[in-house]
Amino acid sequence: MQQTTPESFTPNETRVLENSRKLKIGKRQINDKAVALEFSKMMAAAAVLYGFRMPRAIEEKSLLYGKIKGYYGHLSISDISLALDLHSVGDLERRVEHYGSFTFDWLSQVLNLYQKHREAILKRYKRSLPPPQEDVTAEANWEDLKKYCQKHGEPPALFPWGKVFYYLEKTGIIDMTDKQKIELFNRKKKEIKECQPPGTIKDILRAETLDKHAQNECRKFMVMEEIRRNSDKK
């Protein structure tokens, strides 16, 4: 599920949150051409921002990237680029003088400031999220279904039939052989096909969807059979 960013965060803070979901340097290969291109673009942009001399030799760039990956592998290249942007406009805690050269010593100080800034934003973001909802157990679903059917006399329109079916099967309440399951599946599949208007089955229910629909109907049928048995006992 895709997360949304709360509106209380500034555009630059939102960029920090978005970068936290990107692939980290530590999980990428140094010799990856895509990585080399991204890293070169990042360094070129930094040179424009700060007006300092960049290492030109491939060996120097590889050495620098290796150092970054070793010490800051938990960040993405987008993180590093954003750190340089935020540092240039004074959004980090303080400025670090570069003395006209792009060195690992200077970059590490900037990244350390960025990490502190990033951690504070992530903590705020986590606090802003609603508390996670506890998962309802299959047993609780089963008890709720019995109460619902007793009150309304029919099954709910939406219900986790598969979850409750597996619970009832696991606890021995439902006991079916493989042969019985196959026979029920084929019967439900046939019923679904027969219920469709002529010429629409191919468009509405393709083979895979039809099978899933039939499986769900089988589980619903067996669960409701247990509801009926319980009602008959009373």
Nearest to 79 by CA among 124, 31, 28: 28
The answer to whether the predicted template modeling score (pTM) of the entire model surpasses 0.85 is no
By the 8 A CB rule, do 86 and 78 touch? no
Return the top range by mean pLDDT from 9-18, 82-91, 121-130, 186-195: 82-91
DSSP state of 133: P
Tokens of 131: 């508390």
SS3 203: helix
- pLDDT of residue 68 exceeding 80: yes
pLDDT of 124 reads 87
Nearest to 3 by CA among 129, 132, 135, 134: 129
SS3 229: helix
For residues 83-105, average pLDDT = 89
3-class SS shares of the chain: helix, strand, coil, % to 5: 65, 0, 30
H/E segment holding residue 177: none
Task: Report percent pLDDT > 70 for the chain.
Answer: 81
Q: How far apart are CA 213 and CA 202, in angstroms?
A: 14
- pLDDT of residue 122 exceeding 50: yes
